[in-house]
Structure 1
């Protein structure tokens, strides 16, 4: 079923079409949200809110852009205007983040059986936390342009700016992240002292990692081991793969999907 037909069917109250629509977009929305917000629970809540906004505003989709582009526009608008998170209030600058990386409150050696997965957890969490040091416009530009590899003319349409302005935001965000990685990250630049495995104990002690409830590593549907490019900005972020969630968003939205009221508001 083509996008316009699917949307038309949803607007006519076809519940199966609405489920098909939600199923097709929930993964992309969640992966955008978790990269933007860092915290899994926040990303799951945001994903549900965004899906509701998509459903309730479906009649406004005019078909002039691809459906995914329109969904990304709804999602980015929600995320950029969302209430500031605790992590955003803590990571006020790259200098503040660097200070945290240079602080060890526990021994560096960690040799437990879960060392490898915790190393991935910390690496993923750390590189995504760096994005919180960017202002929201730069952060969304970096995620769309560098992580999701969306072309600048399409990304500009998503964030409602010009392609030239989007490219400027993307360049600035890449420069800021690249400078920080080059100066501090041992994965990106081997001359730097910071290594994820050396920070596992500290992260556990500080509550940054919960061994029994990981934020990233145990929910990655496709961890790109082959893309471990230690000298590549793109490789660092593409190495994360695709994030999955155990939350049944279709079930949570079932009450809304059962009534045509949600698409007529």
Structure 2
């Protein structure tokens, strides 16, 4: 049965099994998407998702309802991601540029069919975005994902980050500016005079295991995906294309 937020919180506090299953079904994908974009690793994102759900279960009685349940859950996820990343070295935009210019091969894409090429390029676009996010500082990464990709409003985002709304706006502006600067210097989709093309990274990405190998059922048929996942994938791709084409407009609107 569907639960309103207040009902869900109350039932979770009572230890209701049906409410817990409802929470897992309806919140897990949002938690995972945030963790994956923050960490850039699917296994780590799965671990963070499980840890977040456990923390929600263990601490729900302390939830006072001063913010939305999603805001509280996102804050838990953000804190777990921060803890996970504290001992890891952050990637930089310069290191990403070195990889791109060193590994591109213009002949790589010629051996693939048009359908296969499209299949790979869609994955590379998502991988490139994940790579760019990893080059941002932790809080810039968090605000970009939550505000630009997840459409979380400034006031709720400030609560998740435990920062003022003005500080949050500055972080959003800086994150967009940093990504826009990289795209202006490198990305062919953003500037046709640039060298970097997604199709030239196919062979390299396949060898590294960064993108999934194609097969007839994936490129020609309907993948074995649930309707919900298909919808999520389409929305994700739509947002990625929007970012590449209109990031400058978004930046100007935020000033």
Q: Which residue of 1 aligns with 2:253?
A: none
CA drift of 1:72 comes to 0.9
More helix by share: 2
What does 1:200-215 correspond to in 2, within 5 Å?
A: 200-211=202-213
From the superposition, tell whether residues 234 and 77 of structure 1 become closer, same or farther in structure 2 (CA, over 3 Å). Answer: farther
Deviations 1:18-40 (A, max 9, x none): 11122221111111111111122
1:103 aligns with 2:102: yes
- CA-based RMSD of the aligned residues comes to 2.7
Q: Which residue of 2 aligns with 1:253?
A: none
1:93 aligns with 2:92: yes
Alignment match of 2:247 (pick from 218, 233, 241): 233
1:60 aligns with 2:62: yes
Q: Indicate conservation of the 8 Å contact 2:121/2:202, yes or no.
A: yes
Q: Which residue of 2 aligns with 1:138?
A: 140
Aligned partner of residue 103 in structure 1, secondary structure: helix
Aligned partner of residue 47 in structure 1, secondary structure: helix
TM-score (norm 1): 0.78
2: CA distance between counterparts of 1:206 and 1:105?
Answer: 13
Moved over 4 A (4+): 217-220, 224-227
Deviations 1:221-260 (A, max 9, x none): 3324666345312899xxxxxxxxxxxxxxxxxxxxxxxx
Structure 1 range deviating more: 76-85 or 5-14: 76-85
CA drift of 1:94 comes to 0.5
Q: Indicate conservation of the 8 Å contact 2:74/2:160, yes or no.
A: yes
Structure 1 range deviating more: 34-43 or 205-214: 205-214
Q: Which residue of 1 aligns with 2:34?
A: 32
Aligned partner of residue 187 in structure 1, secondary structure: coil
Structure 1: runs of 5+ lacking an equivalent: 237-265
Q: Indicate conservation of the 8 Å contact 2:144/2:176, yes or no.
A: yes
What does 1:148-227 correspond to in 2, within 5 Å?
A: 148-211=150-213, 221-224=232-235
Deviations 1:57-116 (A, max 9, x none): 11111111111111111111111121458xx63x63101100111012654334145322
Q: Indicate conservation of the 8 Å contact 2:103/2:201, yes or no.
A: yes
Deviations 1:200-221 (A, max 9, x none): 012222333341799xx98663
Alignment match of 2:81 (pick from 79, 82, 99): 79
Q: How many residues align?
A: 231
Q: Indicate conservation of the 8 Å contact 1:54/1:71, yes or no.
A: yes
2: CA distance between counterparts of 1:68 and 1:158?
Answer: 9
TM-score (norm 2): 0.81
CA drift of 1:163 comes to 0.3
Q: Indicate conservation of the 8 Å contact 1:10/1:17, yes or no.
A: yes
